[in-house]
Structures are given as structure tokens and as C-alpha cells.
Amino acid sequence: MVRGLQTFKEFLESGEGIASNILSNRLERLEASGIIAREADESDGRKVIYRLTEKGINLAPTMLELLIWGARHEQTGASCTAIEYMEKNREQVVAEAKRRWSERDRTPLLPKFEEPTEPRRLHAGKKGLA
């Protein structure tokens, strides 16, 4: 939703460290729940693209809150600046996520996550890194 990932390979190489069998199972469950749909890639019919459904994109406000919460309380590779922007501009971020979904725009809302060299956490009421 915010990183523009759409293929199994992109999810697998996203830095989350998820095992391929677990990823496969989660994608199947999300599809069975109607949150994502599988499509053949227009440029290569052998490749599968996973795309949010309308039901899935309607999770944008909830996912944004979870993203902000995670950045405040857990070590993440997300940029503090990007998370602070999202926190201050929730409505605009959700609207932009929905626009990109409807227009099939793969441009990520968040830049690629980096491996943190030290714990990076946002704290309520404080700017910057802990």
C-alpha cells in the first residue's frame, strides 16, 4: 500500500525477512479474504501481480495508524521524517494512497526502507531519533 510492492519477489526481497512459505500462505489468505487480487502482468503473462482490492484499499487509514504506531514503538527502517509527515498529514496521505491505487500508480509513498544501524524510534511529542 505504501511501498509500491506488487510481486512475490518484491515482497520476499523487501527486507522483512519473511520465509517464502509463510509469504505464500499470507498472500493466499489475503486473497481469500478479498483484500488482494492476483493478476497476470501485462508485460509478462507468467508473472503474477498482487493488487489491493477496494476492500484492501479501504484499510488505508488503519494501516497508516499501524505504521505510525510501529515507528513510535519499534525499531524500523522507515525514515523518521517520512513517518512524521504521515502523522501530521493523515488525510492527505490516505487520499494519495487511494489515488495511486485507483490510477495503478506504483510510486511508493515511502522510500525504500534502510537497515537501521541503531534503534530508530519516534516518540510522542519529540522529533527525531531516540
For residue 78, the domain's CATH number is 1.10.10
Number of domains the chain contains? 1
- Does the residue 54 lie in any domain? yes
| Residue range(s) defining the domain that contains residue 51 | 8-102
* Residue in the structure block whose three cell numbers are 514503538: 73
Tens digits of residue pLDDT in 60-99:
999 999 989 988 888 777 777 888 888 999 999 999 999 9
**Cβ atoms 102, 6 nearer than 8 A:** no
Alpha carbon of residue 109 to chain centroid: 8
In the three-class reduction of DSSP (H, G, I as helix; E, B as strand; rest coil), residue 33 is classed as: coil
Tens digits of residue pLDDT in 27-48:
999 999 999 999 998 888 889 9
The pLDDT score that the predictor gives to residue 41 is 87
- Does the residue 114 lie in any domain? no
The pLDDT score that the predictor gives to residue 48 is 94
- Does the residue 113 lie in any domain? no
- Does the residue 115 lie in any domain? no
